[in-house]
Amino acid sequence: MYYDVIIVGGSIAGLLTAREISSKKFSVLVIEEDYEIGTPEHCGGLVSIAGLEELGIIPFKKTFEHMIESAKITSPNGESFTINSKNQKVAEISRRELDKQVAFQAQKNGAVIKVRTSFQEMTETGIRTNEEKIDCKIFVDARGVSSLIHKDRTGILSSAQYEIYADWIKKGKVEVIFDQEKYPGFFAWVIPSAEGKGKVGIAGKGINVSETLNEFLKQKGEFSTIRKIFAPIWIKGPIKRFVEDNVVIVGDAAGQAKPTTAGGIFTSGMGGVYAGQAISKFLKTNEKTDLLDYQKKWTERFGKEFDKQMLARKILERIDNETINKLFESITPEIVNEISEKDDFDFHTSSIIKLVGIKNSLKTAQTLVSSELKKILG
């Protein structure tokens, strides 16, 4: 059996790669080891409407849950401020349904999708699955963070996310809680799916995520759990090479999730779009430069933002709870209003700069994180 392209991993990046390639009438096979496209749902499900439009996705009704109205950000000592998110037009979507929708787009173009099919190894002419040997010209690795675990464990954090029912979850109101002792290097989150229903999660370095999340939920109030997901997240930015010989790496496997939040529907999805376009061109011309154009395009679009997010991550990893509390004290209503009115969900480093007071108090900020802040401003 032969396909022009075999894609291992049936999440958003791999499926968008398949959609783009199959739209040019090349043969594509997507294999997914889980029993269902869109499962397990690791993602919090936040994405901008502008991002979905650029990915070429108009969400089905069951995919699109609702718009996010606000984000409440809380410090270790309980102080908080609330950003009005209406202008940023951020939606909470069902990743299970979004992935299925993109799978449908790819299939309509001619792609073949198989679940419960696992990748075993590469061969001289293609790959071996748990069922058979299949030949191909291009192999696409879209397996997510699992592809990175053996390459660099320093970029991986443990995370847990539960879907729950709870009266304290309010529709449209996201919560983010910082505490370097409980969630070192990351945070806890509450993302509503509807009134009284949502996804609650935590991540951090060197912690027992199950115990930590259970303790967080216990403090929040009564709840019922309907689903538990434990998964590693990648926070170290893009890998060095997206293309190696006839292997193309996309999505989380390429480190295309945001270093600050590990969210990647848009950034990983665009990786799939750019990869699919580059592979399609390469299959026509057989010119390696056409294949390499994928990384060039993605880097031109997201490289600078990701560099700044990596520096912002260094700040988060270095400061303690006392410093976070002091930074919260310096946040003015004017800063919050400016973020609410002007900032971009998909390119959010400017929001971080404003929140840590760099713009108005470089001298104070420098005492916290030295010269790294200058790089973010540059």
pTM of the model: 0.90
- In this structure, the answer to whether residues 334 and 257 fall within a common structural domain is no
- In this structure, the answer to whether residues 273 and 342 fall within a common structural domain is no
The verdict on residue 75 lying in a domain is no
Tokens of 228: 């538990």
The verdict on residue 244 lying in a domain is yes
d(Cα 100, Cα 253) in Å, to the nearest integer? Answer: 20
CATH number at residue 13: 3.50.50.60
Last residue of a domain, one of 234, 266, 294: 234
- Four-point Cα dihedral 265, 47, 43, 174, nearest 10: 160
- In this structure, the answer to whether residues 320 and 285 fall within a common structural domain is no
- In this structure, the answer to whether residues 35 and 141 fall within a common structural domain is yes
- In this structure, the answer to whether residues 174 and 139 fall within a common structural domain is no
Last residue of a domain, one of 215, 234, 253: 234
- Please, where are the H alpha helices in the chain? 12-22, 49-54, 95-109, 209-220, 265-285, 288-318, 321-329, 333-342, 349-355, 362-369, 372-377
Tokens of 225: 């759990």
pLDDT in tens, 19-65: 999 999 999 999 999 999 987 777 788 899 999 999 999 877 766 66
- In this structure, the answer to whether residues 205 and 267 fall within a common structural domain is no
Last residue of a domain, one of 249, 270, 302: 302
Distances (CA, A) of 346 to 257, 268, 301: 11, 12, 11
d(Cα 250, Cα 16) in Å, to the nearest integer? Answer: 10
| AA letter at 204 | G
CB 207 within 8 A of CB 186: no
- In this structure, the answer to whether residues 173 and 255 fall within a common structural domain is no
The verdict on residue 44 lying in a domain is yes
Q: How many domains does the chain have?
A: 3
pLDDT in tens, 192-236: 998 999 999 999 999 999 999 999 999 999 999 999 999 999 999
SS3 for 191?
Answer: strand
State which residues form the domain around 322: 309-377
